[in-house]
Amino acid sequence: MESKIETHSFKTEVQQLLHLIINSLYSNKEIFLRELISNASDAIDKLRFNAQTQAEILGADTNFQIRIAVDEKNRTLEISDNGIGMSYQEVLDNIGTIAKSGTAEFMKALEQSKKQDTLTPELIGQFGVGFYSAFMVSEKITLISKAAGEDTAVKWESSGDGEFTIAETTKDSRGTTIILKLKALEEGEEDFAKEWVLRNIVSKHSDFVAYPIVMEIEKEGKKEDETLNSMKAIWARSKNEVSEDEYKEFYKHLSHDWNDPLTHLHFKLEGVTEYDALLYIPSRAPFDMFGVERKHGVRLYCKRVFIMDDCKELMPDYLRFVKGVVDAPDLNLNVSREILQQDRLVQNIRKNLIKKVLDLLANMEKEQFETFYKEFGQVLKEGVYIDRENKDKIADLLRYQTSKSDGKLISLKDYIVNMKAEQQEIYYITGDNMTMLINSPHLEALKDKDYEVLLMVDPVDEWVVQSLNEYQGKKIRSAEKGDLELDKDKKDDKELEAFRALFGFVKSKLDDKVKEVKASTHLKDSVCCLSGDADDMSAYMEKLFKATGGKVPEVKRILELNTNHPVISKINQMFESDRDNPKLKDYSELLLDIAIISEGGKIGNPAKFNKTVAELMAAAL
């Protein structure tokens, strides 16, 4: 039996506010169910908390649950709980907040949140926005609630048309029931009157709510209750209570990856900042690791309620392979709980997560880390130039093949341990072919000194060496750029004078294709190579830019000639005896072609190169 029904008018601006909620605050209409389930879960939490000091309010009903009932024919949807419930005045104060306090205050808070990013989850409840999200899908909302310990219930009803009604009524048990009269289905929209649609929404957004979410399902002509959520929020449990099999099962449930994870990290931070985190390192890289539409693997929850996936705010791009969950009850969310605001708490969580993950990687056993690095090393390298704060920690994790490692990967720390006593710098060379790098003529002088060279074949390495100028006080230096200055006993100016005229001649015959021709500091056995100044773009970097269709400024390179090589000596003799010999031009072009080919480049006139080499072979034979 209902008491006299009171009708209250929304203030004039409420239509504007409801329009904002329905059309602007939520990007996905299915969020309404998450909000109502979250409210139901909070109501049960509040009852259990209050029962610690008022045991009598529990009564005999301690089987806590959230129930969903749908009538597809009549297009109604009910969400009910046996939580603390609300009194008549509480309904006015909480559900009717928008009507009572007016939209001006809410608009002011909304505007303030845009400026300061300070709108908290408590403010969401204060203004009833989560509840009102149900108007996105409903033409009418009816709420019936009975507070624990009360004799009467209250009924609130509105079509969102400027008015709502409220009256006392009867209800058998405590708790709240919300009845939605769903809007007529429009083409292309999800049908929230379908059991399978509701099941999917609960699985996506409310799977880890602590209480069973129950719906009556018809199976083989019989109706029976089915629990829609797993409630297995293992991140909220102590790690001592979770078995290895449970960790693996949860990972597969979370990631849809049939492989076991490589390892996991489970911790709870308490203090000023409180949150739970369960993070996984996969054992295999996903196929879309470098795709434009790739997603991060960290999901954000607030009190076990799903807020968002692909949470880039909590994990940097270079750790996008990390999968898992972060449950932070005190996060500052925007009014729709959809967008994470940038604040100190978020930054603090992000900083801690990065530290924990990098420490986890640093403390892995050698074999386990090698498995990880094979799959994700190329992604991890991005952190060197993305994350300046953790650059040194990431540098410790880098691994490379070297000219002396026989195909094995070594760390920069091991490289330094292996350095020769007189060696002062770390040497590297970049390219896209490991065999070509190992046999590069640029390494000949370094190999002669028994110096180790890092062989870098990932495109990202070009950005790594630009950001990582030194490691543990040792300068990192390109083996193909600049003067290596290795030979204490290199030819003096007087000895080189005999070749200077030849260098000028060769340059003049190459049609300005090279910046300079000079004696090599890189070569020992090969006749020639191309190098660049220390600040020039490397040949590999230039190749990468061209492959992406980018405009590459013309960078002329230096043709280095090995003055100790018999070919250069004989060409110089020919030049000194007959500077007009037409073969000198052919030899000059041949030297440039040889240098280009030796580093994997493409020569301008392959046919002429073929003919010149054939003539030389014929003369030699």
Residue 514: which pLDDT band, with cuts at 50, 70 and 90? very high
> Which stretches of 208-343 are DSSP H helices?
244-255
Classify domain 6-227 at the CATH topology level.
Heat Shock Protein 90 (3.30.565)
CA distance 151 to 171: 9
CA distance 507 to 528: 14
pLDDT for the residue numbered 17: 64
Q: What is the mean pLDDT of residues 353-371?
A: 96
pLDDT at 300 over 90: no
Side-chain-facing half-sphere of 112: CA atoms under 13 Å: 10
Where in the chain is CATH 1.20.120.790?
Answer: 489-621
Contact 477, 446 (CB under 8 A): no
Here the tokens at position 614 are 């054939």
Residue 57, SS3 per DSSP:
helix
CA distance 407 to 400: 9
Q: What is the mean pLDDT of residues 364-392?
A: 95
Tell me the C-alpha to C-alpha distance, in Å, between residue 273 and each of 123, 270, 433, 530: 20, 6, 48, 56
Residue 33 phi/psi, 5-degree rounding, is -70, -40
Residue 224 phi/psi, 5-degree rounding, is -150, 150
pLDDT in tens, 129-144: 678 788 889 999 999 9
Where in the chain is CATH 3.30.565.10?
Answer: 6-227
Contact 119, 325 (CB under 8 A): no
pLDDT for the residue numbered 100: 42
Here the tokens at position 84 are 């603390």
Q: What is the mean pLDDT of residues 481-504?
A: 76
Window from 60-64, 168-172, 426-430 with minimum mean pLDDT: 60-64
CA distance 572 to 586: 14
Q: What is the mean pLDDT of residues 106-116?
A: 52
| CB within 8 Å of 563: residues ≥ 6 apart | 491, 496, 499, 519, 520, 569
CB environment 73-89: b (16+ within 10 A), e (fewer) = eebbbebbbbbbbbbbe
Top-ranked range on mean pLDDT: pick from 152-161, 268-277, 297-306, 335-344: 152-161
| Of 322, 454, 323, residue with least CA distance to 398 | 454
Residue 104: which pLDDT band, with cuts at 50, 70 and 90? low
CA angle 191, 132, 333 (to 5 degrees): 100
pLDDT in tens, 165-213: 999 999 999 999 999 999 998 888 899 999 999 999 998 888 888 899 9
Where in the chain is CATH 3.30.230.80?
Answer: 234-369
The CATH H-level (homologous superfamily) assignment of domain 489-621 is Heat shock protein 90, C-terminal domain (1.20.120.790)
Residue 494, SS3 per DSSP:
helix
Residue 345: which pLDDT band, with cuts at 50, 70 and 90? confident
Mean pLDDT (the chain) is 85
Here the tokens at position 465 are 């060496």
Q: Out of 3.10.20.30, 1.10.420.10, 3.30.230.80, 1.20.1560.10, select the CATH number for domain 234-369.
A: 3.30.230.80
